[in-house]
Amino acid sequence: MISMNKVSKNYGSFQVLADCTTEVHKGEVIVVCGPSGSGKSTLIKCVNGLEPFQSGEIVVNGVSVGDPKTNLSKLRSTVGMVFQNFELFPHMSIIDNLAIAQIKVLGRSQDQAREKGSKLLERVGLAVQAEKYPGQLSGGQQQRVAIARALAMDPICMLFDEPTSALDPEMVNEVLDVMTELAQEGMTMMCVTHEMGFAKRVASRVIFMDQGRIVEDDSKDAFFEHPRSERAQQFLAKILHH
């Protein structure tokens, strides 16, 4: 579904991504982790073309992201993305947040879009908040709305960039629960996260990045039981200690 081949990106002389190669198959859940600044966000933003890259190739569902002829907007409408800071549209009610792109991008009618939106809100347990505004919701609620908003586009896969790291600890689980459910339903997902409990529960594979390189790309059992690189061992020791 997503394949990356030797993707490299640099800002001037600084290499953010170096020869990143990996493959995400339909229904897989890939957890991407690594120290701060290792290029995780950049990597997943390359998948839907939010970040350009200088060399290599990324193909999503048969479409080459780096090809200048590719209609990126169309591609992005099929790839859901959830951000660290939720990024709901603050001037729209929750239900409008879910409906707007369905209407303007997919051409659905107002009624269809709202109905779909309501169903998804119900699914993330927020049906009663439909008419509120993002600023009136807690962080955890906003992130669940953001997930519902992405799902409203019927995406073929979902990208998550540290979806729980801006949340108060007591709200982390409500978001992880939604993500776990999604994973168990067979959604193809690529998640940047340091929630190792989530990774152990649902990941098919874990990618570990360091200094722009994919250092490990292994099944979760192999990764957690015998990480090969020293950097990954140190990283796990630090993070699992918490």
Ligand X SMILES: Nc1ncnc2c1ncn2[C@@H]1O[C@H](COP(=O)(O)OP(=O)(O)OP(=O)(O)O)[C@@H](O)[C@H]1O
Binding to another protein, residues 147-206 (CB under 8 A): 149-150, 153
Task: Return the amino acid letter for 192.
Answer: V
Q: Between 52 and 186, whose beta carbon lies closer to ligand X?
A: 52
The answer to the question of residue 164 lying near Mg ion (CB under 5 A) is no
Contact window for another protein (CB under 8 A) among 23-31, 79-87, 179-187, 227-235: 79-87
Cβ neighbors of 59 (< 8 A, separation 6 or more) are: 2, 3, 5, 65
Cα distance between residue 187 and residue 180, in whole Å? 10
Question: Quick check: 231 binds another protein (CB under 8 A)?
Answer: no
- By CB under 6 A, the residues from 4 to 63 that bind ligand X are 11, 14, 16, 36-42
Interacting residue with another protein among 76, 108, 116, 194 (CB under 8 A): 76
Is 129 an interacting residue with respect to ligand X (CB under 6 A)? Answer: no
From residue 154, give the alpha-carbon distance in Å to each of 89, 178, 216: 19, 16, 31
Positions in the binding site for ligand X (CB under 6 A): 11, 14, 16, 36-42
Positions in the binding site for Mg ion (CB under 5 A): 41
